[in-house]
Amino acid sequence: MIIITGATGFIGSNIVADLNARGRTDLLLVDDLGTQGKWKNIAKRRFLDVVDYRKLDALLPTLTKADAVFHMGANSSTTSTDGDEILEVNLHASMAWWKWCTQTQTPLIYASSAATYGDGQQGFDDDQSLSALDKLAPLNLYGWSKHAFDKWAVERAAEGNAPPQWAGMKFFNVYGPNEYHKGDMRSLVAKNTELIARGDTIRLFKSHKDGYADGAQLRDFVYVKDCTAVMLWLMDHPGSSGIFNLGTGQARSFVDLMQAIGKALNKPVNIEFVDMPESIRPNYQYFTEARMHKLRAAGMTAAFHSLEEGVADYVRQYLVRADAYR
């Protein structure tokens, strides 16, 4: 059996799809379905059961072993301000899964985030030494919760109190199928494909920083299929543990992203640059780029989709089709 938390969400449902493609249907999905249509993310999937994540305390004592746990479940809203809810859902639940995996000797692969890097002034090196982690200053409650668990996990591992394999994935800007329930947290690919297809003008932020042209702010955009491929590779290589960046290692601009959509649709892209709200200017990141040497050194040598390749697959195989779900 394999356990996936956050299994009806964006990344979690893509893990389920990949596992089904491998012939694994002995999957225990842990999540809530909510009211945003997340059931559609698993409508094509086969699994053992779906268990509400809020019943975690009752669930864990009934489980004795699993081949692996993919812990993707979290409140991933970077604008959330409910500290108590974030504490329970993001931090304490992660601790509970770590302790269970340690006790049952089950490999644990969990979702961290590039939001742990804060404004990026300390760089984007996935150094897991506590001295390096202590220098990072996340800018929001979500990023703090992921960072707090990373530090807690590293301390437990240093004490020898850890699962036989553990891997924290610092996801960068992930896009791809099954993100539709995320509302404003959807990628710009999901938000703008229909607009570009119609010939509408799309809006990007002007630059308010010297050295960056309008729309030339840079992000490490990574296709969700590459993220799930990395995590399944880790499951197949139980000797690899630690905190790993998960991006492409190549930052691209928002204009590049929009042009990739236009190319996939064979449509021209009309862009209007608008002022960035003053409320977000002080903490706005102009550059993120994953350093990928650590994952490569662990032996993961598979190529990632380029921005154009990933966007083309997403747009043509999902977003322009009547059924956009994987």
Any idea which residues carry the catalytic annotation?
A: 142, 182
CA dist list (Å): 38 to 13, 107, 146, 210: 9, 27, 23, 41
Instruction: To the nearest 10°, report the CA torsion of 290, 296, 302, 306.
Output: 20
Host H or E run for residue 19: helix 10-21
- Give the H or E element holding residue 27: strand 27-30
Q: DSSP letters along 158-202, please? A: HTT-S-SSEEEEEE-EEE-TT-GGGGGGS-HHHHHHHHHHHT-EE
In this structure, what token pair is assigned to residue 255? 């204009």
What 3-state DSSP class applies to 135? coil
User: With the CA atoms of 227, 232, 235 and 239 taken in that order, what torsion angle do they form, in degrees rounded to the nearest 10?
Assistant: -60
CA distances from 306 to 187, 268, 294, 309 (A): 16, 20, 20, 5
